[in-house]
Amino acid sequence: MQRSAPRLTRILACAAVPVMLVVAGCSSDSDGKSEAKPESSASTAATGTAPEATPSEKPVEPAKYTKLPEPCKAISAKTIEELVPDVKDKAGTPGKSSDVTSRGSCSWNGLEDKGVDGSQYRWLDISVLRYDSEQSLGSGEKRAQDSYAKEVAKVKASEGATQVKTSPAKGVGQDATAIAYGLKKTGEDFRYAAIVTRAENTVITVSFNGAGYAGADTPASSELMEGTVKATKEAVAAVAAANK
């Protein structure tokens, strides 16, 4: 009975203090000591290790070009008159675009009447695409590279095209491909020369074609390609100038 007195006294004392203290200091009826389990944070501090942090996603590089020139002004009036004699509209015919900051196009055509020597028809057009850098889609330059490859494939696959020939085009942008082919339409043999080029985060396609009517000779592919190169260089320079 004497041994139970201290124990009874301890139990009564614990009953008089708040519950939280009872749990902390009176959970043992043997020697008054309690064992506490270490929390996870304490364990982390003891071992000196922490969960690995998820690395942040690397931001894409900003696009170099943020503007496009007016497509109908990307090729000089002098060059237009040189390539398209008797052009119907020197100012060109702009294509429709829902976003002129990202895409645009323009075309010119003309029929030069040479009397008994027949007539020469010419058509010149340009399209310009610009790509912004987007975290979910990649950099503007990478997106332009992908678009460039698609545009080259599209020109090469022109419906009805024959004798398609491709070659690198030097001196016009980071990437450039020259494409020449023939096409029969309106009863005449047309010759086409096109250059698809990538300049930073833009893709420019210039197409120049022609035919001889009423007995006139079909224009030479080399002549058309020479004009296409000149027009393409001016278009690439116009894009750079628009972003100065």
| Residue-range domain boundaries for the chain | 4-47, 71-242
The residue among 214, 180, 212 whose CA lies nearest residue 194 is 180
Give me the pLDDT at residue 87, please: 97
Whether residue 7 is predicted with pLDDT greater than 70 in this model: the reply is: no
Residue 56's pLDDT band, with cuts at 50, 70 and 90, is: low
pLDDT at 170 over 70: yes
The pLDDT of 216-242, averaged and rounded, is 97
Instruction: Find the range with the poorest average confidence among 36-50, 116-130, 165-179, 229-243.
Output: 36-50
Higher model confidence: residue 130 or residue 5?
A: 130
Q: Give the pLDDT band of residue 154 (cuts 50, 70, 90).
A: very high
Chain centre to alpha carbon of residue 4: 86
SS3 call for 237: helix
What letter does residue 91 receive in the DSSP assignment?
T
pLDDT above 70 for 26 = no
For residues 4-12, give the mean pLDDT: 42
Is residue 18 pLDDT above 90, yes or no?
no
Helix ranges restricted to H, the chain? 4-15, 19-25, 40-47, 77-83, 140-156, 221-242
Q: What is the mean pLDDT of the chain?
A: 84
